[in-house]
Amino acid sequence: MMTRDKIQTILKKSVSFSEGDQTEAMLYGGKSYLTGFANNHIHRNVGENNYNLSLRVAFGKKIGSASVNDFSDEAIKNTVKRAVEIAKLQEENPSFVSFAKPEEAPEKDFFVEKTAEVTPDMRAEYVKKILDKSKEKGLNANGTFVIDLMQIGVLNSLGISRFCSLTVASLKSVILGDTSSGYSIETSTNVDDISVNSVIEESIGIAEMGKNPIAVEPGKYEVILSPYAFAEFISSLSYLALNARAVEEGTSFLAGNFGKKILGDNITIYDDGLSPETIPMPFDFEGVSKKKVVFFENGVAKDVVYDTLTAYKNGKESTGHSLPQPSSFSPYPMNIIMKGGDLSKDEIISHVEHGLYVHRFWYTNPMDPRRAVITGMTRDGLFLVENGKITKPVKNMRFTESIITALNNCIELSKEKRVMYDSSSITVPYVRIKDFTFTSITEF
């Protein structure tokens, strides 16, 4: 990996080569190692070392951007020149005021040496345990074990200078049977937090329980959504509603509803980039410190996230939620957490007389952004719940539901929570929701 000094040198050179009124340089990357397995065999063991330098140059309200992964002086100068030329050809952005300005902020690092020290042999040992158990059960194991060692540095001509390194370990198991599948994933900055036995137990257990599913009629059901399934809901909520861009465009149901109670009493959702419950990150891709942002508190709409551009446009301060710029998706919440309840998963299941347990959703897409209506499919485990017990596997179904309605119909939340991570992290509990709408069934 690069040293901090080398990253800082590259960033300083980049800014010094620019003739712009303002210049921003952001370097992001690191090493990524992956052990992949399929059909009960390890078939990939790869590593990558890759960094990218992104530059933004502003002349007044005109902004140009360019990027490069060659850090020689000549390559950087050419990239700066390209950004300058692009900026001069751009139309003015009336909302642009400034890149991020410096602030007092303690340095924080989330690099865990134990994670960085994981070798290919160690990854193979984890995976072998999954493969052995899968073969023993007559099933088919697929998945990945990924170790990411990441660094980010941001520097601009206004005085911003930030650096952070972090590690992420993620073990995923997808188990396939003749008529069923199971899924489990664990992710943490510390590899010691990952339990291969828990991953085996969950993914293989779901696959075995799911054999020979029955069909049930579509309609409204009481459901228990696992954190995997519920995280899909919250991910959709992130880009549909929880950011200043969606509020500006009028596509967020939060527009005009701040300060109003619009969700259930038990719904508290926030973003906290420094929480140990997430995969933390101390600042965003503009170098602004991440602030805790409460979206809903006991059902009351509170706030959304901002980057520098949307903050200036709305007379606010950036909350530290910029994506790498330019981006049509920025700002974006990267560390969402939902407050849990007091019950265990098993206690919640025991309270359901007739309903469905949903292990996972996929192909989730918005249908009506303003009402936060989304649709998607179940996968990797759907089960009938009768008299407080999971009784039978069920064939996959399509759901169509409003996130607003679902979060108003949320009856119970578990004390157990899981972190889901894919560039951003979402930490959520198991939830019990009444009158959840399934619209069609499948043949599998």
Neighbours of 101 (CB within 10 A): 13
Whose CA is closest to 98, among 264, 311, 385, 405? 311
Cα 398-404-405 angle, rounded to 5 deg: 65
Which residues, other chains included, contact 74 with Cβ-Cβ below 8 Å and sequence gap of 6+? none
pLDDT in tens, 336-391: 999 999 999 999 999 999 999 999 999 999 999 999 999 999 999 999 999 999 99
- What's the rounded Cα separation, in Å, for the pair 383 and 361? 13
In order of their start, the domains of the chain are 4-209 (3.30.2290.10), 219-441 (no CATH)
Q: What is the pLDDT of residue 231?
A: 96
For range 45-70, the mean pLDDT: 98
Q: What is the pLDDT of residue 286?
A: 98
**Average pLDDT, whole number, for the chain?**
97
Which residues, other chains included, contact 367 with Cβ-Cβ below 8 Å and sequence gap of 6+? 373, 374, 375, 400
pLDDT in tens, 97-143: 999 999 988 889 999 999 999 999 999 999 999 999 999 999 999 99
Residue 292 has pLDDT above 80, yes or no: yes
Q: What is the pLDDT of residue 444?
A: 76
- Joined tokens for residue 290: 């991440």
For range 29-52, the mean pLDDT: 97
Helix or strand (DSSP H, E) at 154? strand 140-156
- What's the rounded Cα separation, in Å, for the pair 92 and 61? 5
- What's the rounded Cα separation, in Å, for the pair 233 and 244? 19
Q: What DSSP designation does 302 have?
A: -
Q: What is the pLDDT of residue 422?
A: 87
| Alpha helices, DSSP H, located in 196-328 | 196-209, 227-240, 244-249, 308-314
Residue 49 has pLDDT above 80, yes or no: yes
Residue 175 has pLDDT above 90, yes or no: yes
Radius of gyration of the chain (CA): 23
Q: What is the pLDDT of residue 8?
A: 97
Which has more confidence, 444 or 351? 351
pLDDT level of residue 76 (50, 70, 90 thresholds): very high
Q: Are 20 and 87 within 8 A, CB to CB? A: yes
Burial environment of residue 248 by CB neighbours within 10 A (0 to 12, 13 to 18, 19 or more)? middle
Q: What would the 3-class secondary structure string for 8-74 be?
A: HHHHHHHHHCCCCCEEEEEEEEEEEEEEEEECCEEEEEEEEEEEEEEEEEEECCEEEEEEECCCCHH
- What is the DSSP pairing of strand 424-441 with strand 335-338? parallel
**Three-state secondary-structure class, residue 386:** strand
Residue 406 has pLDDT above 90, yes or no: yes
Residue 42 has pLDDT above 80, yes or no: yes
Q: What is the pLDDT of residue 105?
A: 87
Q: What is the pLDDT of residue 147?
A: 98
For range 47-57, the mean pLDDT: 98
Cα 146-152-154 angle, rounded to 5 deg: 165
CA dist list (Å): 415 to 184, 263, 276: 19, 20, 16
Tracing tokens 């590899």 back to the chain, one arrives at 191
Q: What is the pLDDT of residue 276?
A: 93
Q: What is the pLDDT of residue 260?
A: 98
Residue 405 has pLDDT above 80, yes or no: yes
Neighbours of 23 (CB within 10 A): 24
pLDDT level of residue 417 (50, 70, 90 thresholds): very high
Q: What percent of the chain has pLDDT over 90?
A: 97
Residue 306 has pLDDT above 90, yes or no: yes
Residue 442 has pLDDT above 90, yes or no: no
Lowest mean pLDDT of 27-31, 56-60, 309-313, 419-423, name the range: 419-423
pLDDT level of residue 327 (50, 70, 90 thresholds): very high
pLDDT in tens, 146-170: 999 999 999 999 999 999 999 999 9
pLDDT in tens, 204-261: 999 999 999 999 999 999 999 999 999 999 999 999 999 999 999 999 999 999 999 9
pLDDT level of residue 297 (50, 70, 90 thresholds): very high
pLDDT level of residue 299 (50, 70, 90 thresholds): very high
